Structure 1
Amino acid sequence: MDASTTRRLAAYGLCVRDSAVLLVQAKHHDGSRSWTLPGGGVEPLEDPFDTVIREFTEETGYTAAVQRLLGVDSRVIPAGESWRGQPHQNIGIFYQVQVLGGRLRQELNGDTLDPTWISLDAVAELERSSLVDVGLRLLHDQPVTGHVAPVPIGGPVRH
């Protein structure tokens, strides 16, 4: 990787119950918002398994347990589409999680808002990150390889 590219390793929690998925709104650098999965960057020396539990709790107020690994996704955002103005690779590790306890609440001092249970039928109409589609496809298809085809960007789906 040269100095003109960036990379992020992140872990995301997909929680579905009663035909609804738990999503949060991410605030973007341009002031816009879109729905995404609870999750975030893996800290140095942190296990992604621990990251997803930590981030899920921080962003939703719920304590969670990992049920299983869904898969890994690597997305490259071209320089012209990246807010950084340079190519960016996001490597996401997706886990299926279940809520153990806690109370749904807003993230304290964070970049995500409004954790909300959203009907699976309503997801296609949302302004959302492609991470939502990747996670749901991994859950639905359960590919042996842990990999799904790239999600097309456009319409309500963004990087």
Structure 2
Amino acid sequence: MSFRLAAYAVCMEGRRVLLARHVSPEGESTWTLPGGRVEHAEDPFDAVVREVAEETGCAAVVERLLGVDSRVIPAAEARVGVEHQNIGVYYRVRVVGGRLRPELEGDVAESVWTPVPDVARLRRSSLVDVGLALARTAPATGHVAPVPVGGLIQH
């Protein structure tokens, strides 16, 4: 089994959320939240701020921890062909500066402020739905039910 610890930003402005369009090496495009892998010895709190800057060009500050999500992707569905566990730490983040731009030397082709009702029509990572559910419900446990994958919702 492979394993990844990641930090994700839920950046909201009114009824809009900041999404990043990730393009795989195969050319597939999926919308996701800004965020990514926590580096060795890095605090997830610092990682989410770094990832927002790298992927979007924007400076951000963490407002609060929203929760943690753990999901296991079966080997048959995982990109690397082995069972994969992703633990995501989700933060509510506020953009405080910078300008949206594609990721420099990365896989994010663009970042856009997206009306929350429009998210349902996008091909997206399930982590978008997890982050929005955490932001909407603010559960005391920091945990929401797993998001079903299929159709427009991808691993």
User: What is the TM-score with the length of structure 1 in the denominator?
Assistant: 0.95
Corresponding residue for 1:60?
56
In the alignment, structure 1 residue 32 sits paired with structure 2 residue 57: no
Corresponding residue for 1:149?
145
| Inter-partner Cα distance in structure 1 for 2:79 and 2:15 | 34
Runs of 5+ unmatched residues, structure 2: none
Corresponding residue for 2:69?
73
Answer whether contact 1:29 1:83 (CA < 8 A) is retained. Answer: no
In the alignment, structure 1 residue 121 sits paired with structure 2 residue 117: yes
Letter in 1 for 2:103: E
Letter in 2 for 1:67: E
In the alignment, structure 1 residue 10 sits paired with structure 2 residue 6: yes
Give the SS at the match of 1:49: helix
Residue 18 of structure 1 and its aligned partner are, at CA, apart by 2.5
Residue 153 of structure 1 and its aligned partner are, at CA, apart by 0.2
Structure 1 segments, 4+ long, off by >2 Å, are 28-31
Residue 29 of structure 1 and its aligned partner are, at CA, apart by 4.4
* Higher deviation after alignment, 81-90 or 22-31: 22-31
Query: How many pairs are equivalent?
Result: 155
In the alignment, structure 1 residue 44 sits paired with structure 2 residue 40: yes
Corresponding residue for 1:21?
17
Give the SS at the match of 2:120: helix
In the alignment, structure 1 residue 85 sits paired with structure 2 residue 81: yes
Letter in 2 for 1:65: V
In the alignment, structure 1 residue 137 sits paired with structure 2 residue 133: yes
Query: Percent of aligned pairs with the same residue?
Result: 57
Letter in 2 for 1:74: S
**Cα deviations across residues 94-134 of structure 1 (Å, max 9, x unaligned)?**
00000111111111000111100111110000000001000
Letter in 2 for 1:112: V
Letter in 2 for 1:116: V
| Inter-partner Cα distance in structure 1 for 2:30 and 2:146 | 19
User: What is the TM-score with the length of structure 2 in the denominator?
Assistant: 0.98
- Which residue among 72, 93, 97 is the counterpart of 1:97? 93
